[in-house]
Amino acid sequence: MPAVPYGWYAVLRSEELQPGKVLPLHYFGRALIAFRGADGRAAVRDAHCPHYGAHLGVGGKVVDGTVECPFHGWRFNTDGRCTHAPFADRTPKVTIGGFPVREHSGLIFAYTGPEAPSWEVPEIPEATSGRYATPIDHVHRARLHVQEMRENIVDESHLHTIHRQPTPPVQDLRLDGPFAETRGRFHRRVLGMDIDNTFDVYMYGPGVMVVRVHDSVLSVTAVALTTPIDERASEMRMLYYVRKPAKAPFAAPLLKLVFRATATAEVRQEVEIWDHKVHHPRPVLLPHEKGIKALRRWYAQFYPSGTIAGQPFPRTADRDETQTESRTDKSAATRIPVGRD
């Protein structure tokens, strides 16, 4: 599998990118920077200066909405174009590579792929709703492909061993172009109480997944942001939005503490497994594990057709980063039931 499936990936939370700051990043096998233009628009671009190779995110600064190279002072705007070079008769016609960027739901997304994006990540209402507490924010890194991080949600057997379900839950996987949904029920024992849960999962392309879990005590929305770092490792950033109890909103911090203690330990346990597992192109699956196969078929759309393993990093062409409003045709929805019948 190429290390960087085509699609939208969250690279930062909005609050991490303050105006006037240049942040060094490393995703998609590339050294990158993020900064904001004079209008506040976020940009994610390659880090190295085309003049002489300095890293714009190490000592670079923002001047009038452009990033200024620390070495000889060349400046680049949010589209990557050089706008100023000291002592040059004419500004050099050079551009640093970069990505189409969107910002909403408290997140900054970058798009990878050879074409302009044809679909968008929908807004995540919990991120801006006053009815949810500020999120628990955990960043995990593992020596694993992002696709396998996603497969975890339809790996029903691990819900028994890692997440202590009596039996693997039944799920329905519905596929709709770059989007997919799955729903199910599970059971948990928290602080000595037996609690039945429902979960609704929304997948938006290869790198963004929203899981809404409800039970009689707690409503939590987990935003799972899986982003390739390079051909060896991926990041999974988990943002857990705990709903404030309507009658006792002040109890939200306590609920966060309880949730953090139970759920996040399980994620750490699976990250350790991920760090050491290998990818089986043809795993030995049991009949109730066919969701993994279905998810792999769906995920294949994010790879270039005729993909050659070992060519992991499609270079993103410089392009006009105008907003794209087009969405996938929802009428072509298909439904693939998975799990035990």
Distance CA 261, CA 243 (A): 17
Cβ–Cβ under 8 Å, residues 221 and 132: yes
Question: Which lies closer to ligand FES via its Cβ, residue 21 or residue 51?
Answer: 51
| Among the listed residues 47, 67, 69, 149, the single contact to ligand FES using CB under 6 A | 69
Please report which residue ranges of 152-300 form alpha helices under DSSP H. Answer: 158-161, 252-276, 290-299
Radius of gyration of the chain (CA): 22
Q: How does DSSP assign 219-240, residue by residue?
A: EEEEEEEEEE-SSS-EEEEEEE
Interacting partner of 327 out of ligand FES, Fe ion, none (Cβ under 5 to 8 A depending on kind) = none
Least distance from Fe ion to the Cβ atom of residue 277, Å: 13
Interacting partner of 25 out of Fe ion, ligand FES, none (Cβ under 5 to 8 A depending on kind) = none
Give the x-and-dash track for 36-65 against ligand FES (CB under 6 A): -------------x-xxxx-----------
Interacting partner of 74 out of Fe ion, ligand FES, none (Cβ under 5 to 8 A depending on kind) = ligand FES
- Tokens 């792999």, located at residue: 296
How close are the terminal C-alpha atoms of the chain, in Å? 31
Interface stretch with Fe ion, choices 44-52, 146-154, 213-221, 226-234 (CB under 5 A): 146-154
Amino acid, single-letter form, for residue 268: R
Least distance from ligand FES to the Cβ atom of residue 322, Å: 28
Distance CA 242, CA 217 (A): 11
Residues in the interface with ligand FES (CB under 6 A) total: 10
Least distance from ligand FES to the Cβ atom of residue 78, Å: 17
Question: Which lies closer to ligand FES via its Cβ, residue 71 or residue 119?
Answer: 71
Q: Is 100 exposed, middle or buried (0-12, 13-18, 19+ CB in 10 A)?
A: buried
Q: Closest Cα partner for 271 from 134, 191, 158?
A: 158
Pairing relation of β-strands 107-112 and 101-104? antiparallel
Interacting partner of 22 out of ligand FES, Fe ion, none (Cβ under 5 to 8 A depending on kind) = none
Least distance from Fe ion to the Cβ atom of residue 132, Å: 22
Interacting partner of 283 out of Fe ion, ligand FES, none (Cβ under 5 to 8 A depending on kind) = none
Distance CA 82, CA 74 (A): 7
Interface stretch with Fe ion, choices 112-120, 147-155, 252-260, 312-320 (CB under 5 A): 147-155
71 in contact with ligand FES (CB under 6 A): yes
Question: Token pair for residue 146?
Answer: 């992002």
Least distance from Fe ion to the Cβ atom of residue 324, Å: 33
Residues in the interface with Fe ion (CB under 5 A) total: 1
Question: Token pair for residue 269?
Answer: 């346990």
Residue ranges binding ligand FES (CB under 6 A): 49, 51-54, 69, 71-74
Residue ranges binding Fe ion (CB under 5 A): 152
